């Protein structure tokens, strides 16, 4: 979880790019650059780091409240917990968290509102090269490791198609598969663009 938080923070901070004596902001690493000051960059990055922590707290609080609320509801109405209630619980947790997350992520837009860009947005090829450079072997290995570690959750004494076992197996296959596919893509791209892409 902490690795994921650090990755989110780094992705946000990487939108700010020092180009010579200019500090530029590119939304989602792609949009046309807008000049910002170091003070604005530091303020936005520090604010985002704080807000990410509060988003985590909000998620935990909402999860507890929703679980307690549904528990009280099912008890008072003598209702059996069902799939529709589960979907409702997920929606009640994710909707406000995602809305708050979008607001937090878009904080730079509110700071630079009205400023003109000083360049062009990155091309698809530039974005692909940047994406491959950011997709490190360590990160790919980490995803594969998590996928394999997920197998520890499988109860090998029960049917692999039963309940939670199927879910854990599916998650493991998905993570390992994504890691392998992305590793092949990175390897092929590096072979074709060795002078352009750092290892």
Report pLDDT digits (tens) over 99-151.
999 999 999 999 999 899 998 998 888 888 888 877 788 888 888 898 898 88
What residues does 25 pair with on adjacent strands?
A: 16, 34
Mean predicted lDDT score pLDDT of the chain: 86
Note the pTM of the prediction, 2 decimals. 0.69
Q: How far apart are CA 103 and CA 89, in angstroms?
A: 22
CA distances from 5 to 56, 92, 127, 173 (A): 9, 22, 23, 23
List the structure tokens of 105: 């992520």
Q: How far apart are CA 199 and CA 196, in angstroms?
A: 10
List the structure tokens of 123: 């091309």
Report pLDDT digits (tens) over 45-88.
999 999 999 998 999 999 999 989 888 888 888 877 777 778 88
| Domain map (residue ranges) of the chain | 2-111, 124-192
What is the dihedral sign for C-alpha 188, 193, 195, 196?
negative
Residue with tokens 């692909």, as numbered in its chain: 128
Report pLDDT digits (tens) over 125-136.
888 888 887 778
pLDDT at 177: 92
Q: What is the DSSP letter of 123?
A: P
Q: What is the DSSP letter of 37?
A: -
């Amino acid at each position: 979880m902490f690795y994921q938080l650090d990755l989110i923070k780094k992705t946000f901070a990487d939108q700010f790019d020092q180009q010579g004596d200019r500090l530029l902001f590119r939304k989602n690493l792609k949009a046309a650059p807008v000049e910002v000051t170091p003070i604005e960059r530091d303020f936005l990055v520090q604010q985002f780091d704080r807000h990410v922590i509060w988003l985590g707290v909000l998620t935990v609080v909402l999860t507890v409240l929703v679980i307690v609320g549904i528990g009280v509801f099912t008890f008072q109405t003598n209702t059996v917990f069902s799939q529709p209630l589960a979907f409702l619980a997920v929606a009640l947790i994710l909707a406000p968290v995602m809305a708050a997350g979008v607001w937090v992520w878009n904080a730079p837009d509110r700071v630079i509102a009205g400023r003109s860009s000083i360049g062009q947005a990155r091309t698809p090829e530039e974005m692909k090269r940047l994406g491959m450079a950011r997709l490190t072997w360590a990160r790919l290995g980490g995803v594969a490791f998590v996928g394999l570690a997920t197998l520890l959750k499988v109860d090998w004494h029960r049917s692999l198609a039963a309940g939670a076992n199927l879910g854990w197996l599916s998650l493991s296959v998905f993570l390992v598969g994504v890691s392998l596919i992305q590793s092949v893509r990175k390897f092929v791209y590096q072979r074709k663009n060795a002078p352009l892409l750092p290892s």
